[in-house]
A and B are shown apart, each in its own frame.
Chain A
Amino acid sequence: MKPRIPLAALAALTLVAVAACGGGSKTSAADAAQAHGPINVWLSNNAQEVAWGKQAVTAWNTAHPDQKVTAQEIPAGQTSEAVIAASITAGNAPCLIYNTSPAAVPNFQAQGGLVPLDDFADGASYVTARSGEAGAQYKSPDGKFYQLPWKANPVMLFYNKKIFAKAGISTTAPPLSTYTEFLATAQKVVSSGAAKYAILPSPSSQFFQSWFDFYPMYAAESGGQQLVVDKKATFDSPAGKAVAGFWQQLYAQNLAGKEAYNGDSFADGTAAMASVGPWAVAVYKDKVDWGVVSLPTQAGSAEDQSTFSDAKNVAVYTACTNRGTAWDFLKFSTSKEQDGKLLEMTGQMPLRQNLTQEYAAYFTANPKYKTFAAKSAHVVEVPNVPASVEMWQAFRDAWSNSVIFGKEDPNQALSQAATKINDLVK
């Protein structure tokens, strides 16, 4: 009779084998920062970003044949964080990922997956020189930069001129500046039958949805405050309550939809307005005759009010062995020339200071983007705190329950969320 290997023993053997194989390489950080050689980078699979990425890679490879860069794509959507987290754990993350969400950086940092840019001699100074003051909010709690602020999509309010005209609202200067005006306009749009909803941000409970309904308006109303400052939630304040009360009215009067919409409600004409960034310019080009204004505030919107940045950044990952090349390529791909190409090819705003002056020619030729460029100097990012995803999920759950579905008083819900969040980020 054959000797039998019990299942358990086989499992134990596997475990031991795996543990034995699990060691990482032991190069010191300083050495790795100097190492040069071929590297891998990941781009988001947005078609225009891929096109930009490919030309940047080709340009670099021609000039540096001994430090070849290979680019691959990963999905830009919700699964990208799962993919990156998995690859950090497995140790096969690439050197650079041009799709690093600022909200995910605290988690990746806790995993030990990110290289602080301060490790490079000119790391911190490069970031500060390129992005100026707006770059400071991307520092981690330990004062180092674990990400390079790359590009932003400042959120503004698009409106459909055809629908507004049908409802008898001015298409050149629509009254959307204060909450009262906005509500009145919204009521007019819906009651006249011009559109089913005034605005339809996704009512879904995913943690990041608040970035497109609550957060841009909170940034404006609070004068540029993040959700959490100095480990304390800030939204349990008159500004936060005002924004919540405003949205509550929109939902209660059915001016904003509570159900998921299949497809793009703004493109389909189901919603008269949308809060989106400059990426939408290319998407709605032939579909909607749109205009853009700042989001409303209680007192009235101002030119220089803040909004949410919806930024995507670049980070250097610890699985990288040739970090010297990675840093050099990162600087190359965020140089004035390459930032300009990014702007031309994708319409998204590089997080570079004095954007309108640096690329004046482009903005003269493409005036539709100018508003966004000016706005990109006033962007507010998600707070760089530990447990950031959990924090946003707690906020979204409270928002969804009180503001969208009206099951609770928003002020109470926000207070409870603030207490919970203070507990999480301390």
Chain B
Amino acid sequence: MSAHRRQPIGMLLSAPYAVFIAAVFAYPLGLAVWISFHKYIFTAPGVDVPRPFVGIDNYTTVLSDPAVRRSFLNILVFLVINVPLTVGLALLLATALNAAVPFRTFFRVSFYVPYVTASVAVVGVWLFLFSSDGLVNQVLGSAAPNPSWLINEHWAMPSIAIYVTWKQLGFFILLYLAALQNVPKELYESAAVDGATKWRSFRSVTVPGVRPATTLVTLLAIITGANLFTEPYLLTNGGGPSGKSASPVLLMYQRGIEQGHPDTAAAIGVLLVIGVLIIAGGQRLLERRQA
């Protein structure tokens, strides 16, 4: 594309979005970062309370708290399980669902349904399945972990990871389905003419063809995974056994909103954002190297 001309109309077109971001999120975000460097509580208007600047005190407090460090580790465990599983399964299923399979509509809807159902209700079903005398343990018999899944400190976070993968897969399948529409049919045809098997054409046509979508899916999976809150809250009632399923956002909620310490909560939040940016940045680097 000829790279020398500028199109200033771009500013006009993206202005509403830019204004939206600035008007809605700039202040809260700025305030959150500011809060993380001060000793701060939210007060009623007109109430004067000392809010001294404390440098990185909040950050050191938070980093030296074993519960917080544990929660970041938990999220890493979560991401390691959830992201590859999500990307792989979503692409495979989207490809399968893109083809002319009988009952395609039924299949598509069935994979999408968990995504649209409110977590509050679905969680109950999962508790039913994974409780100590639930369906899964009955099927597994003596192979079932003891203590049972969600109260087992080694299985709590992986159980949550599998649950979230299952629940959100519909969203990512949708993204891939849309991307698959843009893979030109000619490429499949020429692969077929060259005698490629289905698996081969999947690897050499589909996968490269949806690369932009893969980037998006991976990025979004990382981001939503890092910001995990509802599932630890509902599935393992807070932090789980030995805090093994607490997530950073859960701790932010507890400390910021329940306990009234927005300063340490903001520090956790900023650290989380930095962590995600590092991971996402690392992922982009990996991709550029592969491309």
Contact = CB atoms under 8 A, between A and B. Distances in A.
Query: Taking the complex as a whole, does A directly touch B, i.e. does some CB pair lie under 8 Å apart?
Result: yes
Interface in A85-113: 85, 88-91, 93, 107, 110-113
Contact of A23 (B41, B46, B128): B46
B151 to A, nearest CB: 5
Contacts of A93: 44
Interface string B3-19: 00000100110000011
Contact of A18 (B27, B235, B239): B27
A252 B195 CA distance: 64
B255 to A, nearest CB: 8
B260 A85 contact: yes
B208 interface: no
Interface residues of B, number: 46
B227 interface: no
B254 interface: yes
A113 B11 contact: no
B69 to A, nearest CB: 15
B46 A26 contact: yes
A258 B147 contact: yes
Nearest to A25: B46
Contact of A405 (B30, B241, B255, B259): B241
Interface string A15-46: 10010001111100000000000000000000
Nearest to A89: B42
Interface string A360-401: 000000000000000000000000000101100100010011
B50 interface: no
Contact of B239 (A85, A110, A390, A397): A397
Contacts of A26: 46
Contacts, number: 127
Interface residues of A, number: 49
Given A88-B42, A111-B260, A206 B128 contact: no
A255 to B, nearest CB: 14
A45 B93 CA distance: 44
A346 B44 CA distance: 33
B8 A111 contact: no
A205 B258 CA distance: 13
A107 B260 contact: yes
Interface stretch (A1-9, A134-142, A158-166): A1-9
A191 interface: no
A259 B155 CA distance: 14
Closest 3 pairs (CB-CB, A-B)? A24-B46, A204-B237, A205-B238
23 contacts: A2-B12, A14-B23, A15-B27, A18-B27, A23-B45, A24-B45, A85-B257, A89-B45, A110-B41, A111-B41, A111-B43, A111-B260, A112-B46, A112-B47, A113-B44, A207-B254, A259-B151, A389-B258, A393-B254, A393-B258, A397-B243, A400-B241, A401-B242
Interface of A: 1-2, 4, 7, 10-11, 14-15, 18, 22-26, 81-82, 85, 88-91, 93, 107, 110-113, 202-207, 258-260, 262-263, 318-319, 387, 389-390, 393, 397, 400-401, 405, 407
Interface of B: 8, 11-12, 18-19, 21-23, 26-27, 30, 41-47, 49, 67, 124, 127-128, 131-132, 147-148, 150-151, 153, 235-243, 254-255, 257-261
